[in-house]
Structure 1
Amino acid sequence: MNQNEALIDLCKACVQDAKLTAQQGWQKLILIAEVTSASVKAFGYSYNQQGACQLVSPSLDFDMDKLRALQQIMQTENPNGRGWLKCLIRISRAGDVGADFEYDDPNRWNHTPDNYKQRMAEYAAMPV
């Protein structure tokens, strides 16, 4: 499996996850994930047609190994052998996908009580 196939596999799992897609009329999903040697963490936001935002997280039975697999495949395919620290996956209901990967700043896409509203607006404005 190459990185494009791994990304598609992950995105398919996301749209099939009832907890991630629970928002009525969702149009866009944002999934932020952090993969370390010890753990895989993920959460995100769902946006509907009116732009209403809902905090989401994968179901307990979501296969988090899909995130680890994407990171490992990309690390293997990376000429310098580096793996990303975090990723931001964007998925539209129409099937469009976008992804950003952070290799240096472990605090990128961090959420705090002071910045979460700004982050929600930032993600809402992002194209898929």
Structure 2
Amino acid sequence: MNIDPKYIRELEQLVLRCKDVVSEQNWEALAFVFDVNEGHMANSGFIYIGEEIIPASARITDDKMALSNKIREFQNAIFEACGHKFVQLLIQMNSAGKIHIDFEFDNPKRWNMGPANYRAMREQLRPVFN
């Protein structure tokens, strides 16, 4: 799949503007899952500071639609490249500037969290960069 790397850079810059990320200045890593449906988008995630794991959401206070709009644009670019729209998007980053993006095209619950799997998902989503 040939996708313009500008989307990765733009998503990274938008995530770094999110209120929860800005407020946790000592973060070491983060992970956000975006559920992307027709007419609706939601997200949840975690900020990692050492062994501490802080629940977080990705919202930009002064431009509430910027991240959602960029994700929709990215979803359309992926669709044009491969003919499929992702239903979930995972963004993982560390404070050293590494970023990993993953897609789910078929299972809209792949990275969903609930009482039964909340603790396991916190660790499963923790970024690991080698």
TM-score w.r.t. structure 1 length? 0.87
Say what the alpha-carbon RMSD is for the aligned residues.
1.5
Determine the structure 1 residue equivalent to 2:56.
56
Identity %, equivalent residues: 23
Whether contact under 8 Å (2:21, 2:27) holds in the other structure is no
Determine the structure 1 residue equivalent to 2:80.
76
How many residue pairs were aligned? 123
Partners of 1:88 and 1:77 lie apart in 2 by 19
Whether contact under 8 Å (1:3, 1:70) holds in the other structure is no
- Displacement after TM superposition at 1:109 (Å): 0.4
Q: Does 1:91 align with 2:123?
A: no
- Displacement after TM superposition at 1:67 (Å): 1.1
Q: Show structure 1 runs of 5+ residues with no match.
A: none
Q: Show structure 2 runs of 5+ residues with no match.
A: none
Aligned ranges 1:1-128 → 2 under 5 Å? 2-48=3-49, 50-59=50-59, 60=61, 61-62=63-64, 63=66, 64-78=68-82, 81-124=83-126, 126-128=127-129
TM-score w.r.t. structure 2 length? 0.86
Partners of 1:122 and 1:69 lie apart in 2 by 27
